[in-house]
Amino acid sequence: MLFRSKLDLENNGFTLIKEFWDLKKLHRVESQLESLLKFHLSDFKLKENPTDICSYLSKHKPKAIGEIYDAISYSDSFLNLISGDLADSIRIIFDLPLHQPLYSWQHRVLIQLPKCQKRLSNWHQETFYTIPFSTKYLQCWFPLFCDSSPKNGTIWILPESHKEGFALSNVKYPEDQIMQITVDSSIVDKYQPVQISLKRGDLILFNGATIHKSGQNFSNQTRFSVVGMFHDLLNSKDRKSTRLNSS
């Protein structure tokens, strides 16, 4: 399975591994996340839970979303999830011995509210969002609670775009969105975009140079997904890109 994944990464810049996760491990993270949500919701003494707790909290207790975001990412269940089979699979793909350390960077549970565009990212490469001295790394992405689909905003990828290396990108600070480091349209237009649906338990790995973007959540329920990077720390080289325009 991982041999095929390695070929996919080399040729296409990403690989989809079906049924990668033990669903019991996902359930432990999901259960702890639910506990955090209900803890913050308990402040309101409601007779029944809202249909979407995150949407309710974002309206009536906005700071709670950030607290939940931070808390779950350092919980025991989440740290156990990203440090076991996932990390070992990355080592195998990198042809590294299992005792060699990896650098885990920005593993988080992303919380994408329904119809919300504020935290959507346009077409970008992770190379400009990660530590600058490391160019040998893989990013992971997978859903929690339910399958990811175009309706709830699953990830978009430009296959083979990793071959661009450090692509020309533009930096913008829109008022109604997070900072955007967007790959220039002249490069994006060279590739055919695909939006990849994942079942709960599936996993996507992709090269840090693979151009990708967020999908908008058109459903009525918050979408939760896990994202993060593993760097081959001992073999990283100091490479910095200057192909970045600010406008």
pLDDT confidence of residue 30: 98
| % pLDDT > 70, the chain | 92
Distances in Å between the Cα of 2 and the Cα atoms of 90, 93, 124, 139 are: 9, 7, 26, 15
pLDDT confidence of residue 242: 37
Structure confidence by residue, pLDDT tens digits, 164-174: 988 888 888 88
What are the backbone dihedrals phi and psi of residue 31, each rounded to the nearest 5 degrees, phi first? -65, -40
Mean pLDDT over 3-28 rounds to 95
What does the block give as tokens for 118?
């504020």
Strands 156-157, 194-195: pairing kind: antiparallel
Does residue 114 surpass a pLDDT of 50? Answer: yes
Average pLDDT, the chain: 89
Does residue 133 surpass a pLDDT of 60? Answer: no
Mean pLDDT over 13-29 rounds to 96
pLDDT confidence of residue 232: 85
How many other C-beta atoms lie within 10 A of the C-beta of residue 76?
10
Confidence of residue 120 (pLDDT cuts 50, 70, 90): confident
Mean pLDDT over 214-238 rounds to 87
Strands 169-172, 244-246: pairing kind: parallel
What are the backbone dihedrals phi and psi of residue 114, each rounded to the nearest 5 degrees, phi first? -60, 135
Does residue 247 surpass a pLDDT of 80? Answer: no
Give me the residue label for tokens 């661009």. 164
pLDDT confidence of residue 225: 97
Q: Are the CB atoms for 212 and 137 separated by under 8 Å? A: no
DSSP 163: G
Comparing C-alpha atoms, which of 141, 150, 137 is closest to residue 96?
137
- Model-level pTM? 0.90
Structure confidence by residue, pLDDT tens digits, 67-81: 999 999 999 999 999
